[in-house]
Chains A and B, each alone.
Chain A
Amino acid sequence: MSIRNRWFLLFAGLMSLVLVAAAACGGGKSSADKTATAGAGTGAKTATTGAADQAPADQQKIVTQMPEPEFVDPHRSNFEQDIGIERMLFRGLYNLTDDGKGGVKVEPAMAAADPTVAGSVYTIKLKAGLKWSDGQPLTAADFVYGIQRECDATVASPYQYVLGAGLGELKGCDELFTNKDAAQTQALTDALGIKATDDLTLVVTLNKPIATFTTIWSLWATFPSRKDVITKFGDKWTDPANIVVNGPFTLTELVAKDHATLKPNPNWTGKKPALQQITVKFIDDLSAAFKAFQTGELTETNIQATDVATAKKDAALAKQVIVVPSARITAIEIQMKNAAISDLNLRTALSRAIDRKTLVDVVYDGVHAPATYWVVKGLKGFQGNEAFDSKIGFDVTAAKAALAAYKASGKTVPELKFTTRDTPQRRNEADFLVKAWKDTLGITVTPEFVDSKTRSSRFNKEDFELFPGGWQLDYPDIENPLVGLFDTGGGNNKYNCSDPDVDAGFKEAAAATTDDARIKAYQKVETNVVTKMCGVIPMYQDAQPFMLSTKLGGVLPNGTIDAGQPGNYCVECWFVKKS
């Protein structure tokens, strides 16, 4: 090789090293406002401040991240991102807000006050002067039409069931939804238990009184709809050119798979938003979203748990990380039809061999909260780890003793299968658990990685042995993560939990005449489910990490509400701070 070529190679090698070092070293200039703030931490409340702290109107623009919503129509929505945008565009009779104690409370939104209750009849008065974004008055009839759509099978709302038997108990809703005879449709619609007696008065008739009325009537499934608009535009009624809304913002632009632009609703009668524009970028890849935040292209974004540690290493980014507890428990769902798993001793051994703290620290960088409970923190009736750690928590000695008791009955431990999603984090989680069971108990568990639809299909067909899953709250009430999941024959009871004590607890809750008695009954249900691991072995309560620019103020914690974005139930509270 000639001397010239050697020098050239040396130069090329040095340049490569410089490039790699430049990429690897230094946190770069982040988008952070470097002024100190108390904003970092777990769900910390960003102080609400007055107009003096707000940037001028022409700077009140932010760019946030969400996965793309499937629908903007609240009566067709099924996913968190749909509901997140709809909370900015619409409001129902009631709205969920943070109660300052990590939980939620219900406040009137379009309703003037709580309903007057007479048996199963609930009368709600609307606030006076409410308007749609096009200036038309918002009346009780709009709520009636919204509910008619929700119960209409041709609309096919995925959340119709929250108004049906066992939950919302709205008279006639299930009958209308399951009707297949077109000739009966009008009569069934007229028989629905919701009437507008005048423009400001709604009368809702249930099959029986429920304790969760205002909670359920804060959900997107109960949002009002404009009959004239939907009749005129059909499914295109949510196009920006056609949509009418009653929330603080309206949809001015929607580019499929790219972004949505929201601007203040001029006819919103609530707290006037400071923000003049919210651009919601549709991003699925949270790693890409994190990088976009670092380049200053996003004001707020959800990030992966594994990026939290990276963010915390940077002085500026660390001030902008917040971790919001999610309304979800992740558990190992266990098929009780399996002969081995149906033995309580084996389930106890499996549960007590899991070091939940180390699991979340190693796999999720400490973002989630280890949990031996099932009812999430923040709900009324929450019992917490203290109630269950001693029964099912990590204890190697107790795990081995339980396994010995299992074997003493003459049974052998079969090889078990652990079916999970094929993602990096689920793979790591599976590796951790498989190793724990092998090292502590000598039990061989084989992981099986499948895509999410295959996994869901297997779960619904009850074709699984061990299966990481869980429950995301539909609404913040203790009944939601229990009813239908653990009662014998429950619609979501795919693990075949069937326990007389659990069923008795459900009966007691259904018969309760006070809210306290109802909650106590459900606590007993949780206690029986968890201590007997009837279908589930809780592992951790999820949390969602977000990057929130220090320029953004007014973001209130969500409490125990779906945190598609933190504080999105009061988007009118957000503002860009003065520099």
Chain B
Amino acid sequence: MATYAIRRVLWVIPVLWAVATITFVLMHLVPGGPFTQDKKLPPAVTDALERRYHFDQPLWKQYSLFLWNSSHGDLGLSVRGDREVSDVIRHGFFVTAQLGTMGFVVAVVLGMTLGTLSALNHNGPLDYLGVGFSTIGASVPNFILGSFLVVLFAVNIQIFKVLGWGGPLQVSDIFDSSAYDWRKLVLPVVAISALPASFIARVTRASVLEVLSQDYIRTARAKGLAESRVVLRHTIKNALIPTLTVMGPIAANLVTGSFIIETMFAINGVGKESIDAIVRRDYQVILGTTLFYTMIVTFANLAVDLAYAAVDPRIRYR
């Protein structure tokens, strides 16, 4: 198992190189650059700006420089405010990770609970509720849901707030209670978790239904085991594999941020930053965030694979 994990980690290096190369090439094929604007800057100004950020170098040199620097942890400077890209990602990810983690927890708890209850009450009211919720959650885009929640709960009823993130913006604020405003946390977390929760609910329901029809469940009931023990000990554990499979990509997707939710609630996360960087052709930020996402997805998939082995003792890696 350890060998397998180490091998998977080492594979990250060529994957990152491939992603960096493809991103670099695509970035420079797309029209426009960081200083392209309608009101064209005089050539002297553009020259000075390109010299400042080393964009006047030949592309092969820029590429080599980026690979060399990034292998040493230096992702360069953003043309917006000369911020270090690593700082941009760190600060943005700190917020996005909070949002994503809360969204993930809500999605898993809500999704698995609803899915299990639906399966246990197959064709009953709870089943209809669960299926109805998961259908709506999967059908309604999160920006529509987010807008609806904002208009209803913030603008009309005014229970919640809509502006900014309600958690700490910097690591130093983690233990500062004034950095938390629960009224700002609820709506973005609900909006971002609705789709994954509905997806998890459907997968869990299908999986639990399948397990419930197995002989060993019938045997367990026939033996006189309490229903709670049958469900918690035998059913859910065996129904987890398909749910785990989807949780990895869901976690990676949530933790890397949602551009739409971050924009809608003015949350300073890395999701919005990465899309903004593409729009404004901020090359260093594009490269940095792409590599960052690659690492997140790679390690999320590895975590899922290792979790399989933990859940199902029949699965062993060599």
A binding-site residues for B, Cβ under 8 Å: 4-5, 8-9, 12, 19, 22-24, 26, 28-29, 69-71, 78, 153-158, 160-161, 164, 174, 177-178, 235, 255-259, 281-285, 287-289, 291-292, 294-298, 451-460, 469, 471-472, 491-492, 494
Contacts and interface: CB of A to CB of B under 8 A. Distances in A.
A292 B163 contact: yes
B281 interface: yes
Given A255-B169, A284-B263, A291-B155, A154 B40 contact: no
Contacts of B125: 4-5, 8
A451 B279 contact: yes
A154 B157 CA distance: 53
A91 B128 CA distance: 65
* Interface core residue of B87, B91, B125 (most chain A CB under 10 Å): B125
B122 interface: no
B157 A469 contact: no
B266 A295 contact: no
A456 B44 contact: no
A258 B169 contact: yes
A475 B38 CA distance: 17
A94 B280 CA distance: 33
A22 B159 CA distance: 14
A256 B279 contact: no
Interface stretch (B75-83, B97-105, B248-256): B75-83
Nearest to B173: A255
B156 A22 contact: yes
Contact of A295 (B81, B132, B155): B155
A289 B281 CA distance: 25
* Interface core residue of B48, B152, B158 (most chain A CB under 10 Å): B48
B152 A23 contact: yes
Contacts of A491: 40, 42
B265 interface: yes
Interface in B169-184: 169-170
Nearest to A470: B38
Contact of A22 (B152, B154, B165): B152
A153 B83 CA distance: 20
B32 A456 contact: yes
Nearest to A452: B279
Interface string B304-315: 000000000000
Nearest to A256: B91
B153 to A, nearest CB: 9
A82 to B, nearest CB: 9
B32 A492 contact: no
A8 B128 contact: yes
Contacts of B79: 70
B264 interface: yes
List the 9 shortest-distance A-B pairs measured between CB atoms, nearest first: A453-B32, A257-B268, A156-B48, A457-B32, A23-B152, A28-B156, A457-B31, A292-B163, A153-B48
A172 B79 CA distance: 28
A283 to B, nearest CB: 5
A331 B148 CA distance: 36
Contacts of A22: 152, 156-157
Interface in B80-112: 80-83, 87-88, 91-92
B268 A453 contact: no
B161 interface: yes
A8 B198 CA distance: 20
B222 interface: no
Interface string B41-84: 11011011101100000000000000000000000000111110
A291 B45 contact: no
Contact of A28 (B44, B148, B155): B155
Contacts of A452: 279
B271 to A, nearest CB: 11
Contacts of B48: 153-156, 160, 177
Contact of A454 (B30, B92, B165, B265): B30
Contacts of A174: 44
Contacts of B47: 153
Contacts of B141: none
Given A22-B157, A257-B273, A281-B266, A177 B83 contact: no
A494 B38 CA distance: 10
Contact of A492 (B40, B51, B83): B40
A579 to B, nearest CB: 19
Contacts of A19: 152
Interface string B277-294: 001110000000000000
A149 B160 CA distance: 47
30 contacts: A19-B152, A23-B156, A28-B157, A154-B48, A155-B48, A156-B51, A158-B49, A160-B44, A160-B45, A161-B42, A161-B44, A235-B82, A256-B83, A258-B165, A281-B266, A284-B266, A288-B162, A288-B163, A288-B263, A291-B162, A295-B158, A296-B158, A451-B32, A452-B279, A453-B30, A453-B36, A453-B281, A455-B38, A492-B39, A492-B40
Contact of A156 (B32, B39, B45): B45
A227 B289 CA distance: 36
A389 B22 CA distance: 53
B80 A70 contact: yes
A154 B79 CA distance: 14
Nearest to B164: A258
B31 A459 contact: no
A351 B272 CA distance: 39
Contacts of B88: 256
Nearest to A23: B152
B150 interface: yes
Given A154-B52, A285-B266, A288-B263, A460 B36 contact: yes
Given A174-B44, A452-B279, A492-B40, A297 B161 contact: yes
Given A70-B80, A158-B45, A492-B40, A453 B266 contact: no
A271 B263 CA distance: 37
A556 B279 CA distance: 34
Contacts of A255: 169-170, 268
Interface in B222-281: 263-266, 268, 272-273, 276, 279-281
Contacts of B36: 453, 456-457, 460
Nearest to B78: A70
B18 interface: no
Contacts of A160: 42, 44-45, 48
A65 B122 CA distance: 51
Given A160-B42, A451-B32, 4 more contacts: A71-B82, A291-B151, A291-B162, A454-B31
* Interface core residue of B31, B125, B148, B165 (most chain A CB under 10 Å): B31
Contacts of B49: 156, 158
Contact of A459 (B38, B80, B157): B38
A492 B40 CA distance: 6
B103 to A, nearest CB: 18
Given A9-B128, A469-B38, A288 B45 contact: no
A284 B52 CA distance: 27
Contacts of A235: 82
Given A22-B152, A156-B45, A469-B38, A12 B132 contact: yes
B32 A281 contact: no
B264 A177 contact: no
A501 to B, nearest CB: 25
B129 interface: yes
B150 A291 contact: yes
A86 to B, nearest CB: 13
